[in-house]
Amino acid sequence: MTSTIILALFAAALPCTLAQDAPPTPEQIAHQTWAVNSNSQICKYTALTWAAIIAAMLVYRWTLYLLRHVRRLANLNHGPTSDGRQKYFSIPNENYAKAKRHLISAPLFRKRHNREFHLSSAMNVGTLPGRLQTLFLVGYFVMNIAFCVITINWHDTNKTYYDDARNRTGVLAVLNMIPLFLLAGRNNPLIWMLDISFDTYNLIHRWIGRIVVIEAIAHTTFWMAGKIALMGPATGWAMVTTAMVPSNQLIFTGTIGTCSFVAILLQSPSIVRHAFYETFLHVHIALAIIATSAVWMHLDTLPQQSILLGAIICWAIERSLRLYRLVRTNLGNGVTKAEVEALPGDAVRVTLRIAKPWKFQPGQHIYMYMPSVGLWTSHPFSLAWSDEQPTFGAEKALPLSRQDLFAARKSASMSLIIRRRTGFTDKMYRKAELSAGGKFMTTAFVEGPYGNQSFQSYGTVMLFAAGVGITHQVPHVRDLVAAHANGMCATRKVILVWIIQSPEHLEWIRPWMTQILGMEKRREILRILLFVTRPRSTKEIHSPSSSVQMFPGKPDVGALIEKEIGGQVGAMAVSVCGTGSLSDDVRGAVRERCERSEMDFFEEAFSW
């Protein structure tokens, strides 16, 4: 049954010239049958390859989850016995530590991974993928090349290899559109199943897109070359030109599809994406719709249309989930409102009063729509803080009885810190700056939350942040301090390292940090190290206490981590959110030491 379905879905198209030529000979029919079966097998092997990769990643991801859960449970109790168990978990596994250093956490070459290449201050060329990412991308590219050429008789005197290669590349191009569409979505189920970041899937999406374009070009090239080779240059080119007319739906729509794919490739380099992101995004979506529509018409009556239908269904489900999240979160109990406040240091604090709030967790991010500033566009931001406060009906200014207090609903506000850049963030900052009191209220729509992360199984946690990257780390600090006070985590030491350009940036999180510093048992677990890279004078650098210290200049990341290894409790988590150069420095420092002490590296980054 399964093989029959696969054969029906993945069968290759028969040569389009047969309908116009003489009835096929028995040899031609046999060759066509072989071609259909061969292409079906190639599609089956591709599907099995994806299934094997996903299965292996599932085993790896859930094994790690189970081990971390057991480690957390084993170290919940505070005391000497617990500290002895923590010592056991600080000793690394030799083989796994080598794998982390040389493959899992490794950059492509020596150190550079997340630090961007710049031709100028306005021209961003992008970043380098990691070593494991590169291994997957190269392997998948090589697999596609192999599948395009194997089993085809390239020495056939009848030159049937033109038709065979045309069909094979066309089938693979359409087949690759399924992962292309699936991995582009924010609601891709593989994100939470495999615990792989959307950033990584976005990288894979871009490279699979390039593979699809190459295979589409090869598909068109083999069709043209076949005409020229079989009929001669003059007649062949004339037939190619004649075929590219609207009345010939197969060839005309195929030409439109290929041209659309090429246009997507030409407008997708990093320089264009970063310089004109919103324009790029709208043009990219429009071209993708044109390409998909053209390919759908190109495959009319052909079995590959079922494959394309699978890709379209993936896209439709993902978009429906986005709409569902928007409606569920922002409507039904009023609408979501946003208070945007300009802050020192070219930043804004956005306080969202969510219509239907959710349970706040560290590591969450959202996509925010603000029609009064960015129309229908959405932008990703890390959630930095959440507060719950009682609200009462409009008819009562104050609660009048105990019953009123219990009847009061809890309204959650969630906050973001957004650094002023260009486009949307610049408009938002300027609007707040020009408003009365440096703030304004507006309607917003929140899509999310996406992601979550917990370090409660680690005895020692180091959190590095640069600038607005603090928004990712503050929730972890509050979560770990609270869990420690309640005896619900293995964590005994939390070190927050925040690098800022000016002391005025402290205002971004001052109210939240004041709450954290007042939490129970905070002094037992938390140390904060502030590094000011551009102080106006030495008088600005002063340490309020032994647990909150301030230093001028940039930190020596390796020395900080080395110092904590000396007093490490249990396994260590090292997390970084900030500039690309800081991420690369922290990654390099962890890789140099992960074979001596058990530590895991976590990087929060978002590229496009």
Per-residue pLDDT, 439: 92
Per-residue pLDDT, 37: 86
Residue 12 in this model has a pLDDT that exceeds 80: no
Mean pLDDT of 326-334: 87
Q: CB pairs under 8 A, 24+ apart, for 293-296?
A: 294/253, 294/254, 294/256, 294/257, 294/260, 295/174, 295/177, 295/253, 295/254, 295/257
Which is it for the CA torsion 142, 273, 375, 466, positive or negative?
A: positive
User: Which of the four pLDDT bands, split at 50, 70 and 90, describes residue 440?
Assistant: very high
Ranges 32-36, 224-228, 266-270, 383-387: which has the least confidence: 32-36
Helix (H, G, I), strand (E, B), or coil: what is residue 229? helix
Residue 423 in this model has a pLDDT that exceeds 90: no
Residue 10 in this model has a pLDDT that exceeds 70: no
Helix (DSSP H) and strand (DSSP E) numbers for the chain: 22, 16
- Angle at which helix 131-149 crosses helix 198-231, to 10 degrees, equals 20
126: alpha, beta or left, given left = phi > 0 and alpha = psi -120 to 50? left
Per-residue pLDDT, 82: 61
Which of 15 and 68 is assigned the larger pLDDT?
Answer: 68
Per-residue pLDDT, 163: 87
User: Which of the four pLDDT bands, split at 50, 70 and 90, describes residue 11?
Assistant: very low
Tell if the pTM clears 0.75, that is, is over it.
Answer: yes
Which of 83 and 171 is assigned the larger pLDDT?
Answer: 171
Of all residues in the chain, what percent carry a pLDDT higher than 90?
Answer: 62
- Angle at which helix 26-74 crosses helix 80-89, to 10 degrees, equals 150
Which is it for the CA torsion 105, 109, 115, 116, positive or negative?
A: negative
**Both tokens of residue 81?**
């016995």
Q: How is 257-300 classified by DSSP, letter by letter?
A: HHHHHHHHHHT-SHHHHHHSHHHHHHHHHHHHHHHHHHHHHHTT
The per-residue pLDDT of the chain, averaged, comes to 87
Per-residue pLDDT, 80: 56
Residue 393 in this model has a pLDDT that exceeds 50: no
Measured CA distances, 608 to 199, 200, 601, 605 (Å): 8, 10, 22, 10
Quick: pLDDT tens for 73-103. 988 876 655 666 788 899 999 999 999 999 9
Per-residue pLDDT, 411: 52
Task: Give residue 496's identity as a one-letter amino acid code.
Answer: L
